[in-house]
Structures are given as structure tokens and as C-alpha cells.
Homo-oligomer: A and B are copies of this chain.
Amino acid sequence: MLNAAVRLFNERGYDATSMYDIAVSLGITKSSVYHHIAGKEQLLQMAMDRALDGLFEAAEDVRQQDLPAIERLERLIGRSVLVLAERFEFVTVLLRVRGNTEVEQHALTRRREFDTVVTELVKQAQTEGDVRPDIDPATAARLLLGMVNSLSEWYRPRPGGAAAIATAVSAIAFEGLRL
């Protein structure tokens, strides 16, 4: 049911999708849907949680590694690409949310927390002398995540595709395009 709802949210927009539409797309009655789910907003929250939980699991895994900050940063950015590819429809829902309700505001707060994790890694890597000191860490974090999040606009699943993109993101972000 969550998958069906998320597909509709992304196709038509969250506001334009009704519980009736979700029921129709599953070939069941609206009352059957309400048997499982309190309402549309619960589906939105579940979808955004699937995206955010993936990102925070990656952050937690990386945090526990005994590595220089730049290595942890590079791994976290790579993992974020994979989360985005694996949970594509969920992340797309998350990235389109504008904060119109409490549930959306809560998701935006968690997104900002994730931005802060990335910003802190950039800062630490600067302190360790591994990242150029002339870039504001928060700006660097936003640009790194901007690159990653852009996948929601153009990524199309194919075997090995996500790994190749993670490698490209890493190469551009850490080594630069210039030979």
C-alpha cells in the first residue's frame, strides 16, 4: 500500500492524491485502506521515514568507522547515492515536501539534521587538513547533497547504475573534473 501511495504522490503530487485514488490503484475499497492506515498523512510520514532512516543509518555506520573525516565524508556521500537509488520513490517524496504540515516540518527538520552531519564532517576534514580551507563547510555540504539529491530528477534504475553514479559523484566532488 505504501508503494502504491508513493507512486501516486510522485505522479500526481501529494495534494492531488486522495485515499480513494490509492484504493482504486490497489483494486480495493476505500474502507479497506482505512482499515490499515489512519489517513494519507500517515502514508506520507512512512514514506519520508523510509528515506530518512536510510540516510541516518548510513550516517551512523560511517560515524562508527575509525577513519579520517574525509574518508567518512566520502563514504557517507557514496552511501547517500545508494540510498537514493534504492529508495528512489521514497526519497523523491521527501525532496518535494515544502513543510506545509507538521509531518512535513518534522521531515524537513530531520533533513536539516542530516545536512548538519555532512557539514560537521567537512569542518572536521578541514581541521585535519584534508579538505581545502577556502570553502564554507555548510555551502560545501549543500552542494555535495545537491549533487546527490539531483538523482531524484534524472536517475533511472539499471544494473550497476547506482554504483557508477556514486563513483562519479565521488570523483567530481573530491578530485574534481579537471585532469
Contacts from A to B (Cβ < 8 Å):
13, 15-16, 70, 98, 122, 125, 129-132, 134-136, 139-140, 142-151, 153-154, 164-165, 168-169, 171-179
Cβ-defined partner of A135 (8 Å) among B98, B142, B151, B172: B172
Known: A70-B178, A172-B176. 13 other contacts (CB 8 A): A13-B13, A130-B179, A131-B177, A132-B179, A136-B164, A143-B172, A146-B146, A146-B147, A146-B149, A146-B151, A172-B173, A175-B176, A175-B178
Give the distance to chain B from A103, nearest Cβ to Cβ, in Å. Answer: 17
**Contact A150/B154 with A174-B178, A175-B176, A178-B131 known, Cβ cut-off 8 Å:** no
- A131, A134, A143 pick with most chain B CB within 10 angstroms: A143
In this complex, which of A70, A125, A179 has the most chain B Cβ atoms within 10 angstroms of its Cβ? A179
Output the least CB separation between A163 and chain B (Å). Answer: 12
Q: How far is the CA of A148 from the CA of B153 in the complex (A)?
A: 13
Cβ contact within 8 Å between B139 and A150: no
Docked complex Cα distance between A178 and B144 (Å): 13
Which B residues are in CB contact (< 8 Å) with A150?
Answer: 142-143, 145-147, 149-150
Q: List 27 A-B contacts (CB under 8 A).
A: A13-B98, A15-B15, A70-B178, A122-B177, A125-B177, A130-B178, A131-B178, A131-B179, A132-B175, A134-B171, A135-B168, A135-B177, A136-B168, A139-B164, A139-B168, A140-B168, A143-B147, A143-B150, A143-B169, A145-B150, A146-B149, A146-B150, A146-B151, A147-B147, A173-B176, A174-B177, A176-B176
Quick check: B15 and A140 within 8 Å, CB to CB?
Answer: no
